[in-house]
Structure 1
Amino acid sequence: MRRAVVIASNGPQDLNQLKYAETDAHNVTAILSDLACNFTVQGLIGSDAATARSKLFLASDSCTEEDTFLVYLVGHGMLDGNDLFFLFADSRPNSLMGTCLRGDEVLAAMRKCKAGNKLLVLDCCNAGQVVGRTGLRLGSTSRIKMEDIGFQKSDLFEMILASDALESAREFDFLKAGFLTAVICDALSHSRHEADRDGDGAISVTDVVEWLGIRAKRHNNAHDRDEHVPMPRSVGVGHGKTFLTRPPHDFPRYEVKSGDGIPHIVLPISHKSIAYTIGK
């Protein structure tokens, strides 16, 4: 089973409240739930920290080894010392432990989850800080031993991060979205052909990370420095590949009728504007 938890909040009004985080989360939920991605999605949008924490852990506990488990967080990421906190509408700076979700709690949920494939997406400021205590090396192409950070040898755990520590993720009025989530949603919908970097007909984490880099460079070249976005980061441990769409061998079968009423099957051939069919 492909399971996803989407957590989002625009944050408290008195701390530079975001405009589009919750809208982004609704868009992500719709796309991940679509037949092409085939996730069963639990949306925790506009909830409080206690609810998000409880339901995240319950979802993590419900996975089996055959599952893919995706956790997607959109909102404010605030640093306090070496800790990363995700803010909610009722979060208070003088009570971060009680009114926020901590980055290490999210990692604990991923670590305890039995799913064989795990993916964490953090669309927030300071996202790279979540890596600080894990032994993972941000931006490194090398893989470390899963058991060294508490995961099983067979696990695959990957992260897509909108920013490094001390970097600000960006949202823009012209996108009506945060940059990272806008690009990911585009990669899974309108630009899927271009974002499929290896041409296998499916969108993997590797495809998305490469596409994010291309789009970030394109954006930064076209805008003044004060509108630049940080280069999205990726971290991975374990071996294998995680797909945001269905894997190449698991695309759904579509049937259409020709003019004479004969049913045809749409073939899984990737093309920008043409669908190829064969008579059933």
Structure 2
Amino acid sequence: MELWPGAWTLLLLLFLLLLFVLPTLWFCSPSAKYFFKMAFYNGWILFLAVLAIPVCAVRGRNVENMKILRLMLLHIKYLYGIRVEVRGAHHFPPSQPYVVVSNHQSSLDLLGMMEVLPGRCVPIAKRELLWAGSAGLACWLAGVIFIDRKRTGDAISVMSEVAQTLLTQDVRVWVFPEGTRNHNGSMLPFKRGAFHLAVQAQVPIVPIVMSSYQDFYCKKERRFTSGQCQVRVLPPVPTEGLTPDDVPALADRVRHSMLTVFREISTDGRGGGDYLKKPGGVGEARL
């Protein structure tokens, strides 16, 4: 079926309109730029996952595939003009399992994670990610551990299996103990699953703190520019000899140390902003 001449004219006009409107929105509307950048960020990750899947499938589900995902994702920070500075990487225990706990601000945490991710380390993620198209399949092939947080019994069972995996297969796991993304420039109360896991396996906890993104990214304000983020690896916290009764105090102690460092690196000109002066900022976080 051929298009009549008026239809071709209409298509041409629409094309020219988009050609004019999109650049105009990009340069004149910070909100539009925010949505364009986030759409490309998520779309690019899905595309890279498509490329990674056949490579990872050669090994099948294997934690070593995380190296492939990391290699393919490391360049994204350059596309967005985000400089990631890592300090304290020498604190990673060289040859034993451990549990990494990190603050969770947005999907951009992926950039900091890939920058510092140690060998044989996989994240624990919510089960919904498994159904996120190509990204879910790539994560599954890389050994990412999925937990259904709505079913407590299943989550506890998975954690018990993870504890055994840590010890028998020399695997490290990365957990966001806040449980969800926090866009408010502070840290939410920590859930205790990661700490129960570390105590059960009697392995160290390695806290990692990513500085605030407030100077270059804010979901509420629809703002996404270039900037700098500092990732700080803190000394490992031993759990030998601790019991489940010690978990609440352990979680509070680790959170307090992470919050102190978060405040420090988010206000030293390396990733912070004026959000500390706002209600709900780090200075008002409750321990």
Per the TM superposition, whether the score is higher than 0.5 is: no
Q: Max radius of gyration: which structure?
A: 2
Structure-2-length-normalised TM-score: 0.30
> Between Structure 1 and Structure 2, which shows a larger proportion of helix residues?
2
